[in-house]
Structure 1
Amino acid sequence: MRILHTSDWHLGQHFMGKTRQAEHQAFCAWLIEQVREHAVDAVLIAGDIFDTGAPPSYAREQYNRFIVELRGTGCELVVLGGNHDSVAMLGESKTLLAQLGTRVIPGVCEQLDEQLLVLHRRDGSPGAILCGIPFIRPRDVLLSQAGQSSQDKQQSLQQAIQQHYQDLYALAEAKRAELGGDLPIIATGHLTTVGASASDSVREIYVGSLEAFPTSAFPPAAYIALGHIHRPQKVGGLEHIRYCGSPIALSFDEAKQQKEVLLVELDSNGLRQITALPVPRFQPLLSLRGSLKELDGQIKQAAEQGSVELPVWLEVLVGTDDYLNDLQLRIAALCDGLPVEVLRIRRERGNASASLQGQAKETLDELSVDDVFAQRLSHESFDEREQARMLALYQQVVSELREGDV
């Protein structure tokens, strides 16, 4: 059984005024080629197929076109909902897409066995059993109790998610026995695990509730396909628990990462082999750092990766303590005539940061919601205990808002 594990496409992402439509289209075409070349039996998308709960029409069209084109390869597709996805929006086409060989699990189902799927080989025979677990919202598995501390809520949520995995895995074992007893069991997930290395574009999804899920709480599945973290990695050094990462760089701090999808081979004995398939870079994206003199050479070097049709997108971090009110004009002069486009200019604070902090010109697109709150909180004369209380209240509000984003 050959499975292709991918996640975090974020179709429809609007990146500092730029659309990612062309990149996503190129990636989808490349992925179809990989499915054919490697005779993949099933593709798993482990959450965040879309960037928002109300994606633009072109993003929905890309999603539908990919499903139609994948069907022509004879490969099955399973789509799991992520924290960026709308349960209602993904679910509205679920029945229709099932006719095209695509099974969608937008959120936790009322009947647990609806999340248990049998994956088939290309000849139609059963090849694996899937515990299809999407992003789990606290209200899906937990009843709120009055008087619980933040730590109590974390522990309760962790136990509830662990129980959800164990219950579904027990159903999978029963299904395996029913089908002959030699099929590998696979699980999915869209969450942060203990020790996972994230990036700037990853939104913390259990703010105030559950920061990270321990690997020891997963069931003994042959392979666990995870989404949410954009950096490809093993979890806790374990070969069979993997984040495949996002297929394109979704923030400048991901620019140097080699993006990949994972080709997972299984048989009756379990996991046989995992092969990382490197995703081509469809849009040059670089973060440059240095003094203006150093940046001159770096920008010229970066321009070698671009063209008139496809300029390099740049983030420029100016590493100097000199306050220059014409910084944008100076950077523009360095880029003049080159196939580069500066999307963001930031000033790195050095030794003079204390005196310059109030002068730094940061724009809202450089700050996350958490950054804005933290900066606002820092201007108040609260003691440490009061600051901690205010932060906890803020996290609770944000958590409740995100839980309600379906």
Structure 2
Amino acid sequence: MKLIHTSDWHLGQTFHGQERHVEHRAFLTWLLQTLDVRQADALLVAGDLFDVVNPSLKAQELLYDFIVEAHRRLPTLDIVLIAGNHDSGNRVELPAPLMKRLNTHALGRVHWQDDGSLDAERLLVPLTDAAGETRAWCLALPFLRPAEVTGRTGPAASKEESSASDGRDDTADRHDYVAGIGAVHEQLIAAARDRRQPDQALIAMSHAHLRGAAVSEASERPIVIGGEESLSASLFPDDIAYVALGHLHRPQQVGDARIRYSGSPIPLDFSEVDYPHQVVEVTLEGDTLAATESLPIPRSVALKRLGPADLDTVLAELEALEDDPDLPTERRPWLELRVDLDGPQPDLRARVEAALEGRALRLLRIHTRYPKARGEAAGSRRVTLDSLGPQALFARAWEEEYGEPADEAVTRDFAQLLQEVMDEDVMDDEDASHTSTEGARP
């Protein structure tokens, strides 16, 4: 049996205000061709289908057109989608009844039985071969938010449990979150073991940050789990043949070859310019992993990053940079310049624009900094407001205000607060979606 593992499409992403539909459409066209040529039995998309919880109509159109065309070309292909931390679980699941007619299974949230146990059956997706025989089971686990897995806020919690939790400290809440994640995995794996037949493989799909995995420089939103930003790979026991992960944009394996991040299909930030963007082809023999192969994704629009260096050097690099004047505008490379200055230079933009005159390049941003004024070595890492994530910005602000770094407890509390704000944004969108759906009923 052959599977294709991909993740982190981030459909609808804007790149410093510029749309990237052309790049995403090119990737999806390539993916359709790859599925066809490789005669895949299943496609696993491990979360972050969209870039924001309320994606544009164009972004949604890209996804649904892809699903329809994939089913037309490969009628027996199973497609499994899970929501990531950028997605709204309710939005991902909303068209699920229609998508099932196209052999597509969309899982956005976990659900619970009246007795408080996990509704594991809805997260188990049979993966069939061309003859329609079930050869594997996909344990499709969408991104787990605290409100979905902790007893005090989950749908199975009683009013007494919720009330009793009000007096508990944050450490207890974090412990509940970590314990809840572990319990979800345990119950889902147990249900899968009960359901599988001899020679059927177990395939786990999850959107999470596993401990020991490498993150991107700037483009990944942190996932905070119990005050940490990572989970243990021990959540996936050895009888799971393959673990298809999403969230981290750099392709990599974690521990052994069966636990892998496929990475994002296009660079989502200039810090990802050198990533080997890919999908992973997974071959199963019976219930075991036979092979994995990285299939490189051709880059439809190049990213060019010059500097950091002084202005004259950057302009010389720009002059030496090759470009193709025959490229249509939407295919011309994105360009970032990183310039070191001794002081304010009012004609900077004019000099750059003059150097770009007639060039088939699209300037996205100019990063400027003053290393001599800051006592930095020339060529050291750039630091600008938009290159700092919320946590790094908080750490700098704290040290500037109090004259010393924030301690571990403060850093952990800020990380927890940041995650809660992100989750509230998603839940607000899902509540609005639910209200809109209810209001539409006769």
TM over 0.5: yes
The answer to whether the 8 A contact 1:302-1:312 is kept is no
- Go from structure 1 to structure 2 and tell me whether the alpha carbon gap of 1:286 and 1:153 turns closer, same or farther (over 3 Å shift): farther
Q: Deviations over 1:193-235 (max 9, x none)?
A: 1111111111002166331011123222100000000000011
- Go from structure 1 to structure 2 and tell me whether the alpha carbon gap of 1:181 and 1:207 turns closer, same or farther (over 3 Å shift): closer
- Go from structure 1 to structure 2 and tell me whether the alpha carbon gap of 1:318 and 1:382 turns closer, same or farther (over 3 Å shift): closer
The answer to whether the 8 A contact 2:2-2:42 is kept is yes
User: Partner residue of 2:58?
Assistant: 58
Q: CA deviation at 1:308?
A: 5.0
The answer to whether the 8 A contact 1:321-1:353 is kept is no
Of 311, 315, 320, 1:296 maps to: 315
Q: CA deviation at 1:267?
A: 1.6
- Go from structure 1 to structure 2 and tell me whether the alpha carbon gap of 1:35 and 1:270 turns closer, same or farther (over 3 Å shift): same
User: Partner residue of 1:68?
Assistant: 68
Q: CA deviation at 1:147?
A: 3.4
Do structure 1's residue 108 and structure 2's residue 110 form an aligned pair? yes
User: Partner residue of 1:395?
Assistant: 415
Answer with 200-209 or 220-229: which moved more.
Answer: 200-209
Do structure 1's residue 186 and structure 2's residue 188 form an aligned pair? no
Of 120, 130, 148, 2:128 maps to: 120
Query: Equivalent residue of 2:230, what SS?
Result: coil
Distance in 2 separating the partners of 1:375 and 1:210? 20
Distance in 2 separating the partners of 1:276 and 1:227? 15
Do structure 1's residue 244 and structure 2's residue 262 form an aligned pair? yes
- Go from structure 1 to structure 2 and tell me whether the alpha carbon gap of 1:305 and 1:47 turns closer, same or farther (over 3 Å shift): farther
Distance in 2 separating the partners of 1:319 and 1:114? 55
User: Partner residue of 2:146?
Assistant: 138
Answer with 333-342 or 368-377: which moved more.
Answer: 368-377
Query: Equivalent residue of 2:257, what SS?
Result: strand
- Go from structure 1 to structure 2 and tell me whether the alpha carbon gap of 1:281 and 1:2 turns closer, same or farther (over 3 Å shift): same
- Go from structure 1 to structure 2 and tell me whether the alpha carbon gap of 1:207 and 1:317 turns closer, same or farther (over 3 Å shift): farther
Distance in 1 separating the partners of 2:391 and 2:324? 34
Distance in 2 separating the partners of 1:143 and 1:280? 45
Q: CA deviation at 1:364?
A: 5.8
Number of residue pairs matched by the alignment: 396
Distance in 1 separating the partners of 2:346 and 2:397? 24
Q: How does 1:4-403 map to 2 (within 5 A)?
A: 4-72=4-72, 73-74=74-75, 75-110=77-112, 111-143=119-151, 145=165, 146-150=167-171, 153-176=173-196, 180-199=197-216, 200-206=218-224, 209-220=227-238, 221-236=240-255, 238-289=256-307, 290-304=309-323, 307=327, 309=329, 310-354=331-375, 365-381=386-402, 384=405, 391-403=411-423
- Go from structure 1 to structure 2 and tell me whether the alpha carbon gap of 1:300 and 1:388 turns closer, same or farther (over 3 Å shift): same
Q: Deviations over 1:76-123 (max 9, x none)?
A: 111001000001111111111111111011121321211011111111
The answer to whether the 8 A contact 1:305-1:312 is kept is no
User: Partner residue of 2:437?
Assistant: none
Q: CA deviation at 1:325?
A: 3.5
Answer with 33-42 or 336-345: which moved more.
Answer: 336-345
Q: CA deviation at 1:154?
A: 4.5
Q: Deviations over 1:228-252 (max 9, x none)?
A: 000000113x100000000011001
Distance in 2 separating the partners of 1:304 and 1:42? 39
In the superposition, the TM-score normalised over structure 1's length comes to: 0.90
Query: Equivalent residue of 1:299, what SS?
Result: helix
Matched AA of 2:316 = G
Q: CA deviation at 1:372?
A: 4.3
Distance in 1 separating the partners of 2:242 and 2:409? 40
- Go from structure 1 to structure 2 and tell me whether the alpha carbon gap of 1:345 and 1:109 turns closer, same or farther (over 3 Å shift): same
Matched AA of 2:209 = T
Q: CA deviation at 1:136?
A: 0.8
Query: Equivalent residue of 2:141, what SS?
Result: coil
The answer to whether the 8 A contact 1:157-1:210 is kept is no
The answer to whether the 8 A contact 2:224-2:416 is kept is no
Matched AA of 1:21 = H
- Go from structure 1 to structure 2 and tell me whether the alpha carbon gap of 1:332 and 1:2 turns closer, same or farther (over 3 Å shift): same
Distance in 2 separating the partners of 1:8 and 1:308? 27
Answer with 4-13 or 369-378: which moved more.
Answer: 369-378
Matched AA of 1:295 = V
Matched AA of 1:198 = V
Q: Deviations over 1:346-387 (max 9, x none)?
A: 12453431599xxxx9976444434543444344236556x6
The answer to whether the 8 A contact 1:157-1:209 is kept is no
Distance in 2 separating the partners of 1:71 and 1:41? 12
The RMSD of aligned alpha carbons is: 2.4
Distance in 2 separating the partners of 1:258 and 1:371? 27
Matched AA of 1:240 = R
Distance in 1 separating the partners of 2:395 and 2:350? 31
Q: CA deviation at 1:311?
A: 2.1
Matched AA of 2:210 = T
Distance in 1 separating the partners of 2:355 and 2:200? 60
